[in-house]
Structure 1
């Protein structure tokens, strides 16, 4: 998993509440167990018309937001079914940070396991960030995980809270497997002792 330290990028405004995981990645795309390739179907039913053509009104199809790395969204983002494909699709598209007033718990936890930073901030702060995101590609936000700040294109700084363990994992690029591998010396020592104590196993 890539380390997350500081991100400066284009932020896309998606001022919708209750964006559920089926809106993020519709059920027909859940047949794969691979984490790659799902970005092309992110927000599929909003991004594309029935004939497969792009919906020009959807924010991520607009030229200014095609390289979006930060998403500013409405309340209760990621609600619905507990599909890990949702953060997979977000990450594969290139979005590394989602800012919203609140998140569904399972989606929130899955983000950290996949190298995405979900930031919960008060509605009045999200409103300011949403307006900044509406400025387009020239308005780049900066997310500093170490300092726990989000800075608008105008230099306005807002702080956010994050669990210290989750912060550590993101900054060090550690998923569940990576955390286990940090203990590999202890695991090897235990297995060696176990082999001596129980050679018949």
Structure 2
């Protein structure tokens, strides 16, 4: 297992009577794409945040490569172990696609953009001149610029039309299967979930 949640529970300090995650146990492997499903407010994004080291469990532990992700090393975990892809892209709009990808790590930005279908004619344009689908591809390329073995994506197809969403789904699958990365996606999309190697249903627990 590259990433694992063991007996993880979580609630916000201001809402101690509202348990968001209750004793979640799940392990993730490289070479697979996982889809996390559940109704709004069920804790999907919270679970992703815990895996990313953006928050810490109230009980239980997150493990990376069988070692606990401890509070004082969360920044190191996020920097070296995890790449994030957001629904809102989180690109810097005054930078070009190449400049945005360079922020992700040491990967070759031109090669990465080319590999995900962003042609050379777009590399030095303003991000604001790109379509939503192109911006999401740039965000994925930025994630791939990192050496991180785990890619976490929060609703990566949520703002995209159907055809572009399928392109992004295929790209995420390719990242998992061909680049041997662990891809974990929070989604409401049944189509995306059907393409995943495993699905995790979040209510008050996670299960295969």
TM > 0.5: no
**Larger relative contact order (Cα-Cα within 8 Å, sequence gap ≥ 6):** 2
- TM-score where L is the length of structure 1: 0.31
* Higher-strand-fraction structure: 2
